[in-house]
Each structure stands twice: as structure tokens, then as C-alpha cells.
Amino acid sequence: MTNADSLISLVRAYNPKTNQALLRDAFAFGADMHEGQFRHSGEPYFTHPVAVAHILALQQMDDATLITALLHDTIEDTKASFAMVEARFGREIAELVDGVTKLTNLQLTSTQTKQAENFRKLFMATSRDLRVTLVKLADRLHNMRTIKSMRPEKQAQKARETMEIFAPLAGRMGMQWMREELEDLSFRVLNPEARNSIIRRFITLQRETGDVVQKITADMRVELEKANILADVAGRAKKPYSIWRKMQEKDQGFSRLSDIYGFRIIVATEGDCYRVLGTIHQRWRAVPGRFKDYISQPKSNGYRSIHTTVSGRDGKRVEVQIRTREMHEVAETGVAAHWSYKNGERVENRFAVDPVRWIASLTDRLDDDQNHEEFLEAVKLEMYQDQVFCFTPKGEVIKLPRGATPIDFAYAIHTRIGSACVGAKVDGLRVPLWTRLKNGQSVEIITAEGQTPQATWIDIAVTGRAKTAIRRSLREEDRERYVRLGRELARVAFENVRKKSTEKALRTAAKALAIDSVEELLARLGSAEVTGSEVVRAIYPELALTNGDEVDQGRAVVGLSPDQVYKRGACCQPVPGERILGITFRGQGVTIHAIDCAALVDYEEQPERWIDLHWQEGTHAAVNTVTFDATIANDTGVLGRICTLIGEQNANISDLKFIDRKPDYFRLLIDVDLRDAEHLHRVMTALEAESNVSSIVRHRDPGLAGTTRG
């Protein structure tokens, strides 16, 4: 436990004029009042108030706030009274301690009506002196840090309360560091499996790629030094809960998330901020649509910073925040900046906006006779800035992520309502289904019998629930089309090995693949859940073996040592006949890249990992997958003709994925198994000659540099 001398030493570092005698007296009084009391962990109870005071001292708070932290449980849990505290420490501190006591006594997880009334009391108390809330937030933070000693059901209750009330409150007051920690501590209790899974993925990622944060930080420092810019650069992986929330919002797995690392660059002046931005964008490629200038257009809470996202090492996207030291203080401490001291004097930060105005404007409008539920809704609309709360015509509240549309609203009510949606009214006016909903709007969903989800809804919806329901419905609706496409793909796959796709052959393949029926097999083949080569191999496994005249795939690349294994880089997908080189990976063999692969720039400073390689002469097996990016007409039979064209070139489609569907065209990625560069050229030429193919290019993605193809 921090003793009085340690706490005073911490305070004197930022406030040499602190009243040491009063702090010592408060320390002694608190220790005396809590004598004989213990926490659930078995520690003396007074360790908790001291820890709360320590948290606030790190925020450079004034003496009154620190003394309130030391005494915040005395009136509630000891023989001390308001009069005793007032007589010894003055009216100001007594009222602050009493305010914290009242907040502590609020049962914030009780029934809805009771919760609404308690919210009212909380904000009424907060509006009188914001330091009451600061002490309460620090109190909750320490309790969450030490929550393991509580009963599991109590842990869950406190974690939900923290996630729903205290974390958003901290964020609304500009204390983002506290919000992040409160959310992550709650996440640890409420969903430990998900949190541990994300941490394990981080450990695996770091083992595979090394300390990315340290490498990128060093790269940025080098570039800033070249530009003669003095700056502090720091980076970190984002918190597990932040990543989890992003996975839920984007309906993506961990491996598909990009900006899981964040970097902060702090400089002296606003001019330096823009110089840094230019330097970063000159060195790394900026990601379109991910730039925000909160310096020229500050947020309503006073937040100022430049945000940009760039493609860093190995094509990884990283977020960069650029700000001055003064801006950083507001961004980190929020409302606490209004009470911070330096060298014994209160510091006025010109960028800080006092959130008291927000709380006061809310409480000024309150009427004791106001409906409790309406007040609770009003409070939540103010607090949860990253969510949208809208109302049904019956007045029920629907919670959605920011950016949600009427389609998300409809599916949030019921899947049946979402699927039958044909239109929407917002605040009584008819609006398009892609309209972004705002807080407090009333939404009416218009339905029609026989309506089914449209493919374009996938791009409009933002919630995972809506997207999943739409995809499921589209799969069922498109089943007949998938069966027809699957039959064509099966015909091509069998003809590629000089066999016929008979009904008996398909029944045999379905049985071998443990699929219930031929129709189900064809539907899976048409929706790319099963590949044509898998169907063929289920009946003719010997056809997968290498012919005697073909190059042995194990020795297809010349220049490797006997113990080295290779994989083709998924970023450039090199094929025999193209110039290649290898990059070594410790414990993972060698990754083969085409000589013109954009991903090779990341290894320019590591020449010891480069190997000069070339392909073995001879006939190679058609096992080298290449991805085509094709745009084709949305017309009857076009996709079947494309598959036929590829089959006529003795190439096999191993996968097919639609990435854009429009009324007049489809855009899709087609994985084709090829022998060599000549084979590749023949297939592309045949496709380019097809009148219904408006564009066909070889798909290459430097962002996949860390992955491989067999």
C-alpha cells in the first residue's frame, strides 16, 4: 500500500504548493476510521481509498479531490459523520465526500424505472461538482482492477454496470484511457473466452511477424529525423475489447481486421502536425477514406488531432494520430484537465471544453414529474455517442451501431420484419433504405407479403444480425441458380480429366463426400463451398497423381537446399515460366515471389533472406492457382459460358467468389489451377475475347504478403 509520504511525493512533483499537513491528516483520519475493516481479498480496507487517491494523483488533481478520495467511504462505512468531516477538513471536502457517498448508494442495476430515477440523481449530483464523478470513476476503476476476489455473480453484475454506465460516462467526459481500461476489465469478466482468444491471436501474430509496433515506431522516428521534426512516437496494439467490438461491428474475423495497431506522434506546434502528416504520407501509402482532421474541425468535447491510416510494414494497416502536447493532455485526461495543477498553479488548457455544460444542460431540463423512462432514454442518447437509439411507432427503443440503416432497424425487431421490408418512414417521412439513422428518430418499417431480401442489402446493412439473415435468405432463394451453375462447373471439371459428369458419377461423388443428395452437391459446388477438383478426386483420386512426364512438384523450384520447403506467395501467385526469387522465413521454409511483386519492397533491407531461384524445366502439373478479377455481364448463361471457356483451355476452377453484384454486371474473383505462364496467357486471352467479359485482370494483393499458396 502507498504510504502518506509516497502519495505526497507524487503530488509535490506536479504541485509543490500542496498542503502536505492536510493530506497527512486525511491519510491518518482515513486509516483510523477504517481500522479493522478488510476487503474481500483479505487486504486492509484502507488500501482501496489510497489506491483511488493514487489514480487521481496521476491525473494531477487538486488537494480537495485527493482528500475526498482518501475519505470517500468514511461517511458510508465508518463511524465518521458529515459533521466530523466538515469540522476537520472544511465544508468543501465534506460535501464532496457526501456526494460520492450518494453516488455509491445508487442501485444502478435494478429495475428500469428505478435505474432511470438513479440516473437522474447521479446527474443531479454530478452537476453540483464534477469532482464527485471523477472520484467515483477512479473508485470504480480500482474496484474493477481488483474484482477477482468477488463472487462470480457479483463480478458479472459489476462488469455489466461498468460497461453500460461508467465506461461510457468516462468516455463522454473525454477520459478515453479510463474508458478503454474499464471496458477491457469488464470484457475480461463478461466474455473471458473471447478476450483470451484475441490475446492468443496477438501472441501468434507477434511470434510470426516479430514486434511490429517496435519496428514501425523505429521506422517513423527515422523518417521524422530525416525531416528534422522533433517528436515523441509511441505505438501499441489496440485493447482486446476494442478489437472485439470492431469484429462485431464489421462482422469480420480477427485475421481480416487491418488496423489493430495504433501509433501516436506528439509534436510542439500545430504546424509540425501537418509537417508530420506530409512525412508519413510520403513514406507510406495512405488508405483512402481514413483521414480526419480534428485540428481544423475539433470535436464538440474539444478533442483535436489528425487521424490517418497508412499501409505500414508487410502491408499492415496502422492508424496514426498526430497532435501537440497541449492537445494530447485534453485527449488523455478530458475533464480532469480542468482540475490539474502544474508547479502549484491551476493550468488552463485552451483546448479543453468543460463537460459540466453538457451535464448542466441536461439536468436543467429535468422536471421531477418527467417520465422516468423518457429521462433514461434521453440520458443514454447523450452518453452513448458510438451508438444510435431509435424508436418504433409504439415507443420501444431499438439500439443500433452508429451508421445503421432502416434495414438494420427492421432486422433488429424481427427477422420476418426485415425480410419483408419494402420501405421505411423516419419521423413520418418516406426515406430510402440506405438512409443512416440518427439518435432519437422514430422509424416505421413498411412490409409487403411476398417480399424477399435483395442482394444489394448486403452493402446497405451494417449489423451482423442483418447481414447474416440476408445472406441466409439469398442462399435459399439462389439455390436453384446455384444448382444450375454447379452442374455446369461439374461438367467442366469432369471434361478436364476426360470423364463425363453423369448422374451416377455425381451420386457416387456425393456419397464419397458425405453429402445427402446430388442436388445438394451441385448447390454447394455452385456456391463455391465445394470445388470441382474435390468432386473429381472423390471418384478418381488417381487423377490427382503426377504423370511421369510432368515435373515432380516437390522439385519444381531449382536453387533450394535439400531441407528447404517452399510455398508460393499469395500476394503475387507466381507460376512456372515467370522470373522468381525466394524469401526465407525461420522455421517456415521459403516463400516464392514473382520478381516484380510489390511486397518485396518490405525486404529490401534484409538481403540475407533473399535466394535466387528459377523453375525446373519441363511440363508442370496444373496445380498453380491464379486468381482472376473478372467483371461480366449480369445476363442469363454468361457465367456458364465463362466456366466453359476456362474448361476448354484445360484449366480447372477451384474457387469462385462474388465481390460485387449490380443489376447490370457481376464482379467476381475466380481461382483457376494452371500449369505455367503460357497456360495463364491462353486462359486470359480466351476470356478477353468473350463479349460478355468487360474486364479480366490478374488479381494481386500485396496485403497478402504474409500468406502463402500451396
What does the pLDDT look like over 372-414, one tens digit per residue?
A: 555 555 555 455 545 677 888 887 878 787 789 999 999 999 9
Q: Is 606 helix (H, G, I), strand (E, B) or coil?
A: coil
Q: What average pLDDT does range 88-113 have in this prediction?
A: 74
Instruction: Report the range of poorest mean pLDDT among 1-10, 484-493, 544-553.
Output: 544-553
Higher pLDDT, 384 or 272: 272
Q: Count other C-beta atoms under 10 Å from residue 547's C-beta.
A: 8
Given a contact cutoff of 8 angstroms between Cβ atoms, the answer to whether 162 and 140 are in contact is yes
Give the fold, CATH level 3, of 4-190. Hypothetical protein af1432 (1.10.3210)
- Measure the CA–CA gap between 18 and 512, rounded to whole angstroms: 81
Are the beta carbons of 582 and 610 closer than 8 angstroms?
yes
Task: Check if CATH label 3.30.460.10 holds for domain 195-346.
Answer: yes
Q: Is the predicted pLDDT of residue 125 greater than 60, yes or no? A: no
CA–CA distances in Å: residue 528 to residues 475, 587, 683:
12, 33, 20
Banded model confidence at residue 265, pLDDT cuts 50, 70, 90 = very high
Instruction: pLDDT band for 262, please (50, 70, 90 cuts).
Output: confident
| Res. 1 pLDDT band, cuts 50 70 90 | low
pLDDT digits (tens, 9 = 90+) for 84-95: 999 999 999 998
pLDDT band at 367 (very low <50, low <70, confident <90, very high): very low
What are the phi and psi torsion angles at 342 (to 5°)? -140, 130
Rounded CA separation 438/520 (Å): 43
How far apart CA 527 and CA 505 sit, in angstroms, is: 20
Residues in the chain: 710
pLDDT of 485 strictly over 90: no
User: Other C-beta atoms within 10 Å of 452: how many?
Assistant: 11
What's the mean pLDDT when you consider all of the chain?
82
Note the pLDDT of residue 365.
46
**Residue 408 DSSP SS3:** helix
Give residue 245's pLDDT band: very low, low, confident or very high (50, 70, 90): confident
For 576-599, what is each residue's pLDDT tens digit? Answer: 988 888 998 877 789 999 988 888
d(CA 347, CA 338): 7
- Nearest to residue 311, comparing CAs of 703, 601, 593? 703
- Please work out, in degrees rounded to the nearest 5, the angle formed at the alpha carbon of residue 327 by the alpha carbons of 324 and 331: 130
Range with lowest mean pLDDT among 222-231, 537-546, 644-653: 537-546
The answer to which of 72-76, 235-239, 365-369, 562-566 has the lowest mean pLDDT is 365-369
Q: Would you state the pLDDT for residue 204?
A: 77
Query: Dihedral of CA 457/458/460/465: which sign?
Result: positive
For the stretch 437-475, pLDDT in tens is 987 788 999 999 888 888 788 888 888 788 878 877 877
Q: Evaluate if pTM is beyond 0.75.
A: no
Q: Is 76 a catalytic residue?
A: yes
Q: Is 255's pLDDT higher than 60?
A: no
Tell whether the model's pLDDT for residue 334 goes beyond 80.
no
Residue 338 pLDDT level (bands cut at 50, 70, 90): low
* Cα–Cα distance, 448 to 274 (Å, whole number): 53
Domain 386-477 grouped into CATH 3.10.20.30: yes
pLDDT of residue 127: 56
Higher pLDDT, 20 or 100: 20
- Confidence class for position 658, pLDDT limits 50, 70, 90: confident
Question: Over the stretch 148-196, which tens digit does the pLDDT of each residue have?
Answer: 988 888 899 899 888 877 887 787 777 888 988 999 999 999 988 888 8
For 158, counting Cβ atoms within 10 Å of its Cβ (0-12 exposed, 13-18 middle, 19+ buried), the class is: buried
Q: Annotated catalytic, 219? A: no
Tell me the DSSP string of 217-248: HHHHHHHHHHTT---EEEEEEPPHHHHHHHHH
Answer yes or no: is pLDDT of 547 > 90.
no
Q: What is the pLDDT at residue 548?
A: 42
Q: Is the pLDDT of residue 546 over 50?
A: no
Which residue ranges make up each domain of the chain? 4-190, 195-346, 386-477, 553-615
In our burial notation (b when 16+ CB lie closer than 10 A, e otherwise), range 417-430 reads: ebbbbeebebeeee
**Of 506 and 550, more confident:** 506
**Of these residues, 25, 77, 180, 249, which one is catalytic?**
77
pLDDT band at 229 (very low <50, low <70, confident <90, very high): very high
Nearest partner of 292 among 318, 269, 322, 316, judged by Cα:
322
Catalytic residue from among 25, 76, 92, 478: 76
Work out the pLDDT band at 545, boundaries 50, 70, 90. very low
Query: Of 410, 399, 393, which is closest to residue 439 (Cα–Cα)?
Result: 399
- The percentage of residues in the chain with a pLDDT greater than 70, rounded to a whole number, is 83
Residue 305 grid cell: 488531432
CB atoms within 10 A of CB 271: 10
Residue 669 and residue 659 in contact, taking contact as beta carbons nearer than 8 Å: yes
User: What's the confidence (pLDDT) of residue 47?
Assistant: 93
